[in-house]
Amino acid sequence: MGYTIAEKILIAHAGLKSIKPDQFIEVKVDVALGNDITAPIAISEFKKSGVKKVFDNKKIVLVPDHFAPAKDLRSANQCKILADFAQEQKIENYFEVGCMGIEHALLPEKGIVAPGDLVIGADSHTCTYGALGAYACGVGSTDLARAFIDGKCWFKVPGQIKFVYKGKLKKWVSGKDLILFTIGQIGVDGAIYKVMEFSGPVIKKLPMDDRFSMSNMAIEAGGRAGLIEPDEITAAYCKNRVKRKYKVYQSDPDAQYEKVYEWDISDLEPQVACPHLPSNVKPASELGNIKLDQVVIGSCTNGRISDLRIAAKILKGKKVKTGLRLIIFPATQDIYLQSVKEGLAEIFVKAGGIFSTPTCGPCLGGHMGILADGEVCLATTNRNFLGRMGSPKSFVYLSSPAVAAASAITGAITHPDKI
């Protein structure tokens, strides 16, 4: 019997010859990630264990990005716990404000995650790294604490679902639109505790940034992980980033899947997820009457340089609708600098937007863009649950950077072709 790429990674890291869905296995972890919300709990549990040293100070990653730069005293104390632990344990991959970024954009950019890795993170969007052909998933803070101790974690082997995308993408249609379409088709519970494997001719041509966007939102369909087989595009991305040897896995032709979805997306137009679920998806052209108070472009889903280039292309020489707040969040410091060098930051500011330091801030309703009662926001983030970005009486729509930029100009949800 053949195995999928995800199953092969699990077999290798469990030291087994075979596995089956629902089997419990213990795996060795290549990377263990925590942020300023989740890592303090893991650090506390680690210290309660009585263990004095972490299993490997090179394989633990700590990134203060959710409430950083610290928005208040409680946030500052959370960040300080990370800083103190990193110093005490000599954690090599601790990223302080100034050299940090949004974690799920930062780790691939720094070459910390590679194809074939098994990665856990105390953050649900750890599944982002599946775009590199890694098995990556979110875990609880106590699971992270256990990994700090011995570099291992217990898993239940998930079932496998394959998604095959055929046809040719229209102008303005991106990986974000593909994943929104997918979630719209199968629902937020359509892949609960399953591996989502994205494949087909469309995926093979998809740039890495778009692949990251797709894997990032696997969790929004309930997915345990969202993987794409590594290819020449993956290798080119890793070439000057990953400084260690890694192993590429591919799914066998006779691998077993619980379900296989096939779609021809040639007629797909830019998609928008409407309140209050990522699965409540409609074509952008059908939502022109939705007036906006705020537009957010950035996050671990769509804050990469290609995302900002698309937004700047649309906004160049234009003005943001009077009364609308446009907030741009580059995902890392390197992306921030590249945006400045290319003149993107200037385009955003001249258009009437705010160009911010990297932070998760508004995505989780933390800071830097909280919504008031009755306000409506269009964001390139990944979740639009009730109260996600602030008031439970606010409304969040999700889209690609192209739709978000066009909508910032008109003040209502707009197809980019109209600009």
> Per-residue pLDDT for 384 more than 80?
yes
Identify the CA nearest to 273 among candidates 175, 181, 198, 411.
181
Q: What percent of the chain has pLDDT over 90?
A: 94
> For the domain with range 271-414, which CATH number is right: 3.30.565.10, 3.40.630.40, 3.30.499.10, 3.30.930.10?
3.30.499.10
Give the mean pLDDT of 212-240.
97
3-class SS of residue 36: coil
Residues 6 or more apart in contact with residue 146 via CB below 8 angstroms:
152, 153
pLDDT band at 122 (very low <50, low <70, confident <90, very high): very high
> Per-residue pLDDT for 74 more than 90?
yes
pLDDT band at 366 (very low <50, low <70, confident <90, very high): confident
> Per-residue pLDDT for 370 more than 90?
yes
> Per-residue pLDDT for 288 more than 80?
no
pLDDT band at 99 (very low <50, low <70, confident <90, very high): confident
Comparing 66-70, 160-164, 200-204, 338-342, the range with the smallest average pLDDT is 66-70
> Per-residue pLDDT for 142 more than 80?
yes
Q: pTM for the complete prediction?
A: 0.95
DSSP code string of 56-105: -TTTEEEE--SSTTT-SHHHHHHHHHHHHHHHHHT-TEE--TTT-B-HHH
pLDDT of residue 361: 86
DSSP code string of 208-268: HHHHHHHHHGGGGGT-SEEE----HHHHHHHHTT--S--------TTB--SEEEEEE-TT-
Which tens digit of pLDDT belongs to each residue from 4-52?
A: 999 999 999 999 999 999 999 999 999 999 999 999 999 999 999 999 9
E strands in 258-351: 259-264, 271-273, 281-283, 294-298, 325-329
pLDDT of residue 171: 95
pLDDT band at 363 (very low <50, low <70, confident <90, very high): confident
Residues of the chain with CATH 3.30.499.10: 5-262, 271-414
Give the mean pLDDT of 114-143.
97
pLDDT band at 187 (very low <50, low <70, confident <90, very high): very high
pLDDT of residue 364: 86
> Per-residue pLDDT for 167 more than 90?
yes
pLDDT of residue 56: 97
Identify the CA nearest to 407 among candidates 384, 383, 376, 382.
376
Q: Hey, what amino acid is at 367?
A: H
CATH 3.30.499.10 fits 5-262, yes or no: yes
pLDDT of residue 360: 87
- Whether 173 and 269 have beta carbons less than 8 Å apart is answered as yes
> Per-residue pLDDT for 239 more than 90?
yes
pLDDT of residue 100: 85
Give me the chain's average pLDDT, please: 96
